[in-house]
Every structure is written in C-alpha cells, then in structure tokens.
Amino acid sequence: MKKLYPALKPYVKHSLAVDKPHVLYVEECGNPSGIPVVFLHGGPGAGCDPSHRRFFDPDIYRIILFDQRGCGQSRPHASLEANNTAALIADIEHIREHLTIDRWVVFGGSWGSTLGLLYAQAHPERVSGLVLRGIFLCRQQDIHWFYQHGASQVFPDYWQDFIDPIPENERDNLVQAYSRRLFGDDELARMAAAKAWSKWEARCASLRPSAELVSSLSEPHTALSMARIECHYFIHDAFLQPNEILDNMDRIQHIPAMIVHGRYDMVCPIQQAFDLKKAWPEAALSVVADAGHSAFEAGTVDALVSATHALGVSLT
C-alpha cells in the first residue's frame, strides 16, 4: 500500500488579487521545474490543508495549491460576493498564467472533481491529465441525496443533529432553510448553523468514524466558510445547467484520466463515478473496496498516490 509522501513546506507563497474583493492564497511545493499539478480542494469552501501537498512526489511534481474564493487563507473570508463556478474556473486560469505554466495536471476530490472536470471542459488544451476522487457531478439529484433524502437513511442519528436546528415546518427544503440562517444577521445562529452543517458532512465522509475530520471541519473558521459557500452554491445548483458535466464529455475524452472512488462513499455515492465512466470509457476507474468519501482513508491514499505516480511517469 502506498502512503502519503512526507510532510513538506512551500518554497514560495503568492497573494493573487482577482475580481474585487477577492485575494487568493496560492502556494508552490516540490520541484520548481517538475511537472505542474494544481490541487482543487472540496466543499466548495473547505480550503486546503498541508496534508494535501502529500499526494505528489515532490521530486517529480511542481505542486500548486490554492484556496478558492472565500476560504482557507484567501480573503475576504466566507465571502459570497462574486463567488460562483465560472469565477473559480477563471481563477484557475489566472493562476496558471501568473505562474507561466503552459499545461498542468489537475487533481481534485469531491467538489474538486466537479471543478476539475468543468475547468478541463472549458480549457482542454491546458490540461495534461486528470486525477479525480469522490466524483461529484453536482446535479440536483446529487445535492438532494446528501441534503434532503438519501444519506439521511444511512446516518439517521447524525441526520437528526443536522435537522435539529431547523423547525419542522421548514424541513421540506433544508438547503433553503439553512441558507436563511447561514446568510442572516444573527451571528450566533449563523455559527450554530455552520457547525451543524459542516459536522454532518464530516461525520458522513469516512467509512470508519474520524474524530480528526470532524474536529477539523467543525473548527469555526472552516465550518463558516464551508457551510456558507456550499449552501450558496447548492441553492444555485452550482451555477450549472442540468447534466452539464456529462453533456460535455466530448471536449475532454482524449485527456488521460484516473478516477478513484470509495465503494461506501455516502457523500457522493459511487453511482456518479459509474455515470462518468460510462460517458468516458477511456478513463481508468479504481474502486476502493473499503473506503468512504474522504481522501485520507488508506485504500484511497494508495489509489491516489499510485495514480499521481503513474501519470508522472507517463508524462516524463
């Protein structure tokens, strides 16, 4: 089983001003003349973590991580202004041009897979390969599964905690009900809602309970950006057309791609990876037999590190 590469520090950090009011945090690790790879984090709104640097061989890759608008070390924190999918795609291009990179590998899990697929479809000539985990097609049905009915049946106890802050007469649309609290003026209600929202996701994200994941996502700074930004995107169906990703697969059919998905993913059920694979037979799909949604369960780490290694060899 392959493990994460050793912890490492960035050799440079950037502050990149994009559309007002946003300033993005960008960092580079590994080999400055290696194969460029951009890491797309989840949520949207979860931000990067130092452990995300460790999926890539630092001798082979020039590893670029950034915090999407409104989260992590990007500013202003938890801002929904000018925060939408097209803007994030434009930011990726902005970063690529700023770093004078011609083509790069795109690595993303969960919402990072959504964004990676959309970025590649918009700019296929800029993508040398894709490594995608926990496929999230972000259709209405995929959002409904996690925030209305589906995962609720697998984790009824955690679900109860998720719906507790919402009065019964508002529970027919939980994303809407949460938005009123997450976007409202009452600071205490906002934080309580943010914690309940993020905790639900963290608790469902691994096959075996992970206290570490729950505590890191319940941390107020992360909980607030993730809950507000996710809710904002999901109220707007992620600013996508119905079935947008699957309808545009012809644009990226030729790009080398590896998909990794945990069999017991309850945040983004594996059917989404199968729907993607059906539309993209050339992509390699690796099903991890004993994993959920998180990137950090042992089998998923093994598959992801194997994928970045194999892609690195094929691109050298």
Q: Which residues are marked as active site?
A: 110, 265, 293
CA distances (Å), origin 138, targets 6, 71, 268, 276, 290: 33, 20, 9, 12, 24
Q: Toward ligand STX, which CB reaches closer, 56 or 146?
A: 146
CB 31 → ligand STX: shortest distance, Å? 26
106: contact with ligand STX by CB under 6 A: no
* Distance between CA atoms of residues 65 and 26, nearest Å: 6
Q: What is the dihedral of CA 65, 66, 67, 72, to 10 degrees?
A: 60
CB atoms within 10 A of CB 154: 12
46: contact with ligand STX by CB under 6 A: yes
CB atoms within 10 A of CB 281: 8
In the stretch 150-189, what mask flags binding to ligand STX with x, by CB under 6 A? Answer: ----------------------------------------
136: contact with ligand STX by CB under 6 A: yes
65: contact with ligand STX by CB under 6 A: no
Chain-centroid distance, C-alpha 185: 28
Q: Which residue has the tokens 């989840």?
A: 42
In the stretch 185-214, what mask flags binding to ligand STX with x, by CB under 6 A? Answer: ----------------xx--x---------
Q: Toward ligand STX, which CB reaches closer, 64 or 267?
A: 267
CA distances (Å), origin 160, targets 145, 191, 223, 311: 16, 18, 19, 43
Contact residues for ligand STX, defined by CB under 6 A? 42-43, 46, 110-111, 136, 146, 201-202, 205, 230, 267, 293-294
